[in-house]
Amino acid sequence: MVLVNFLPWRAKLLRQRIQCDRLLWASALIAVLAGSIDLIARHQAIQLQRSLLSAWQQAHQHIDSILQQRIELQKQIERYQRETDRLHQRQQRLAYLLDFIAGLGKTLPAVWLNTLTMTPQKITIQGNGRQVDELVQWKQSLQRFEGLQQVQLMKVVQEMPGILHFILSATPVTHTAKER
């Protein structure tokens, strides 16, 4: 009988199996490393996305606070503008009143005023004078005064010898800023 030596064949088969197993293990190790690298890359991408989102939210909050400050400043500017307009109107009224009183003072003869009441519709002047002629002349000069119209001497009463008490009424002429 012939004895065949299967040992080299078995050794060869064993080497092939070991080489195949090595290749399989190396492939598995490469796959695990590739998967780990992919997971690490995904984790870093997620962290980057989170940090970008956080930065975007902070920027958005900063922009919102700047816009809120701008709105508050705009409201404050509008309040200042309204106050400035109100003060300008008041200044115009006071300038008109000063002009009126200065013009009225130029027309005064030997008359002294006790009360001057002004409304937008009517001016009432109460005072004292010495002679009726002076009061009539003063009334006529007031009629020529551009700040008054419909000047009327309402009442003249002699309180004491040489002193007359009078009441005079007139309608003020309203002036706009363009006429000035």
pLDDT tens profile 60-88: 999 999 999 999 999 999 999 999 999 99
Q: Which of 24-28, 34-38, 140-144 has the lowest mean pLDDT?
A: 140-144
| 3-state SS class at 120 | coil
Query: What is the model's pLDDT at position 178?
Result: 40
pLDDT band at 105 (very low <50, low <70, confident <90, very high): low
Contact (CB, 8 A) for 51 and 45: no
Give me the phi and psi of 5, to 5 degrees please. Answer: -90, 105
pTM > 0.85 = no
Question: Please, which residues have CB within 8 angstroms of residue 147's CB and are 6 or more apart in sequence?
Answer: 99, 100, 103, 104, 172, 173, 175
pLDDT > 50? residue 177: no
